[in-house]
Structure formats: C-alpha cells, structure tokens
Structure 1
Amino acid sequence: MTNSNTITTKLRAVLLLAILAIMQVQPVFASDKDSITLVNANWQTLYDEDGVQLKLANCHIFNAQQNIIVLTFNAREFSMQVGVSDTLIETSRMAESLNADFAINGSFFDFAGPALTFIKKHGRIHPSGVSPEQTSRNNWGLVVAGSNSRSVKIIPSAYGDMPEKSAAYDNVLASYPLLLKGRTICLDSCDYVPNKFNNRNPRSLVAIDSSGNVAFVTLDGRADGKAMGMTLYEECKMALWLGFTDALNLDGGGSTTLWARSLGIVNCPSDNKKFDHEGERKVSNILYIKRLFSRFSN
C-alpha cells in the first residue's frame, strides 16, 4: 500500500470516528433539555388509588410531540400474569375475560395467530412459534413473576436459555430488545441501525424502579403533531429519565395498548390511523395484573 493510500485510509477512519462521535453526542446534548421537559411536564393523573397510579403527559421531547402514559403498581399488592390466546383478540377483551384490573399488550406474534415468543403461564410453557431472526438475537429479556409472588423481575436472556432462566417462575414473557438493566442501556448494535423496527414507532414497555415498583408504559405514535413515537434509543432515555432501573421493550406499533378496568383504553392505539381510543389491534398475548387481596378483606 502506498503512503497516499495509507493516509487516505487513516483519514477515512478519523472521519468515521468523528461522525460516530457526533451521533453519540447529539442525544446527550438533547437529553439535558428533554429530561427536564419530561420530568416537569404537566402530568395528568388518570387514576391514583389502591396501590396503582396512572399518569399521562403530552410533551415535546426528541424534537417531536410525545404522548406518554405510565401505569405504576406496587408488586406486593398485585399479581402480574401472562394472558395468551391461540387466536387474535384485542388486549381489552382478553383482559376482561381474565378478570384483570389493568393490562398492556404483550410480545410479538404472527398475524395468523400464534405467539412468536417464549411464554410460561401458571407454570406451563406455552407452545409458541419462532422465526430465524428471533433466534439470532441475543438481547432478549424475560419479565418474570410467581403466581402469588410479591416481586417482578426483568432478566437478560438469549433465546436458547429461556427455559432454564425461567425455571423458578410461574409467569414469564420474553420480548426484545432489553432496554435497561441496572440503569445501563442494553441495546445491541443492530438496534441503532435505521429500519422499520428501530425507527420512531408507538412503543410499549414494562419497567421496574429501584423500589421494586413495576410500570406498564405506552408511547403513542403515528399521529402527526400529537404523538410521533420513539426510536429504541429514545425509549431507553425516556425510561431512564422516569427513574426506571430495568426495562424491556414489548411489541409496539399498532399493538400498543394500555387498558384499565375502570377507564377502558387509556392510550391512543394507532391501527385506525386516528388519535383516539378506537384503533385497537388484535394480539395473541398480554401482561395483566390482578389484586392479590380484596380491598374489603380484613
């Protein structure tokens, strides 16, 4: 190789590093302003009783309008479980049939019906489909709980070790990517590459804070000027700013739905291309919670 070729190669390497540095720094600069905007947003309380708090904020962060709903519950008072159906059904209808108190859409599925993820319900592994793309991903996570457990955990996983890692738990749902573990962003390099999945979309996630409280979170999208959705990296930053230590991305897009027994659909599902509560998509699995003890018990 000639000296000129060597210099050109080195120059290209330096320029590439500079571009990558700029790409990394820009979100950090944005985070100072956006984190303050998010925390100080006009959070509207939709529900606040019996160990559950449900809040909504519509604010401008990441250079776009965002509609964020956070349902936080005390895991000592609620049992988190997995709902699964062999035929597609709306999150709200599945939750009602299971006598749930609150629910969020779950992980990935085939539009023909079956789940495309690892599911364990009441101690039994549910037969699920899988695609080659999924088996190749390493940044999976498991959200796990016992049937009467007073704690919920998010565990890093790869597709092959899910039965082993879930052995001690009765209710398990696998999804990807793992967003946060111990306040560290866990995205794989492929999760930064622009594509249909990684670009701004409606998002759903389950998260845990340092006190062990659990949250179901939805980020609406596909509604110009009202809710644009987030990239995976933006989703991570938002979860950090809200005080979560661990977080796992669930199925998003038109599946994103958050339901409450007393309120119905509380976010704005996007499948009808309108910013209302009517665009709910049929799914194959959900996460839901039920109170462990009756509020009227002694």
Structure 2
Amino acid sequence: TYGENIIEEPSAIAQRVGATLAINGDYYGFRSEGIVIRNGIAFRDEGARDGLALYSDGQLKVYAETATDAQQLVDDGVWQAWSFGPGLIIDGQIQDGIDDVEVDTNVGNHSIQGQQPRTGIAMIEPNHYLFVVVDGRAEGYSVGVTMSEFAELFAGLGAQVAYNLDGGGSSTMVYHNDLVNNPRGEGKERGTSDIIWTTGT
C-alpha cells in the first residue's frame, strides 16, 4: 500500500509477497520529494535528486529526476523508479563527489557521509543484478563504508550501474525469510515503506 509513513519490517513484507531475496528500498514514505514508480504506475512526481529507473527490458539506469517527469519515464518503459541516491557507478565509472552528497536536508536527515551501514543495487548487465548490504555502527563487527568505498565494492563485482538506497538503521537483507545481516548492530529490523525483491532459487 502506497502512503506516507506506512511501514512494515522488511522480513514481514518479504514473507507476505513470497520473496526469495529482499533488501530495503528507498523508504519513499519518509519524504515528500522524488519520483516514485511501482509496477509501471507513477505515485509521485516531485523530481529532486539522482533517481534509479528499472526498465521493462531489464536495463537499470541512473537519471536526473529534475530533467524529466514520471509520465515520460513510464512512457519510455520504466517499470520501477526509486528515489534516494546518489548514483555510484554510471557506464562502469565511479562518480565524482559522491562522498559529499546530502539527502533529505529538509528534514535534517543528511548523515549519509562517512562510514555508514549501506544498502545498494547494481546491474552487471540487463537482468543480472547485485543486491548489497553492508552493516555498520557496530565497533568490533563492522563500522560501515563510505560512499566511495561502497562504489568500489560494486565496481569490484563488475557493476556497470550502481545506486545507493536508504541505509543506516534501515539496511536489511532477507533470504528465504531469514534475516541475514545485523541491522543497527542489534539484529533488529526497522520498519520501512518498501523492499526490492526477487523470486527463484
């Protein structure tokens, strides 16, 4: 269900939809800006930042939300669009300035700099994707990664496109209904608006 501050733990959403593998998404319900498209339907059209578009042919592309609109994206074949960022890798190249990007400064939530827990999605080639979650904020276990370190991780895995999603305490990965990472260093999930998920073995 789409709406502001409608949240559920990622593992609960994953179980309900029958996901094999799931990560938290962009937490669209926390903000009023950004372009949000789900299953080919535009729910929000307030361009503000780097967006990520998944096309019906399996292409994953980072784009500037302020240079287009939701209807044009749908007309061009976009099936899903997420709004968080920044774009980490475009056309196989790590982007400059990604360690200085701020998100949601209007609500004081801009602590994405430095070493943090991270969630990201990437494409090696159409229909071949990477879901990566890095734990953090847990001394002796994992302090997290910077945005540049996150981009380098994706580059080392062969990503041609990579995009940062909501991180911090939201960073969660679920596989066959089991929580496989350690959110917040406590093994406790944070409720979120959405997940990105796949089915299969």
Which bracket does the TM-score occupy, shorter chain normalised?
0.7 to 0.9
The answer to whether residue 191 in structure 2 is matched with residue 282 in structure 1 is yes
Work out which of the residue numbers 53, 70, 73 in structure 2 matches 1:165: 73
Give deviations 1:177-196, integer Å, cap 9, x for gaps: 00001121124467269x72
Structure 1 position 117, deviation (Å): 3.5
8 Å contact from structure 1 (residues 177, 187) kept in 2: no
Give the direction of change, closer, same or farther, for the CA distance of 1:257–1:180 in structure 2 (3 Å limit): same
Provide the rounded CA distance (Å) in 1 between the counterparts of 2:74 and 2:115: 31
Q: Give matches, 1:205-220, under 5 Å.
A: 205-210=120-125, 212-220=127-135
| 4+ long deviations beyond 4 Å | 83-86
Structure 2 unaligned segments of length 5 or more: list them: 103-109
Structure 1 unaligned segments of length 5 or more: list them: 1-82
Q: Give matches, 1:77-156, under 5 Å.
A: 86=4, 87-111=6-30, 116-127=33-44, 135=48, 137=49, 140-146=50-56, 149=57, 151-156=58-63
Provide the rounded CA distance (Å) in 2 between the counterparts of 1:282 and 1:243: 31
Structure 1 position 108, deviation (Å): 3.7
8 Å contact from structure 1 (residues 118, 174) kept in 2: yes
The residue that corresponds to 1:267 in the other structure is: 181
Provide the rounded CA distance (Å) in 2 between the counterparts of 1:89 and 1:247: 26
Higher RCO structure, 1 or 2 (CA under 8 Å, sep 6+) = 2
Provide the rounded CA distance (Å) in 1 between the counterparts of 2:125 and 2:39: 27
Normalising by structure 1, report the TM-score. Answer: 0.57
Provide the rounded CA distance (Å) in 2 between the counterparts of 1:198 and 1:162: 28
Give the direction of change, closer, same or farther, for the CA distance of 1:127–1:244 in structure 2 (3 Å limit): closer
8 Å contact from structure 2 (residues 51, 81) kept in 1: no
8 Å contact from structure 2 (residues 35, 51) kept in 1: no
Work out which of the residue numbers 138, 142, 156 in structure 2 matches 1:227: 142
8 Å contact from structure 1 (residues 220, 229) kept in 2: yes
What secondary structure, in the 3-state scheme, does the structure 2 residue paired with 1:88 have?
Answer: coil
Structure 1 position 160, deviation (Å): 4.8
Q: Pick the structure with greater CA Rg.
A: 1
The residue that corresponds to 1:200 in the other structure is: 115
8 Å contact from structure 2 (residues 53, 79) kept in 1: no
Provide the rounded CA distance (Å) in 2 between the counterparts of 1:268 and 1:230: 15
The residue that corresponds to 2:106 in the other structure is: none
Provide the rounded CA distance (Å) in 1 between the counterparts of 2:2 and 2:198: 14
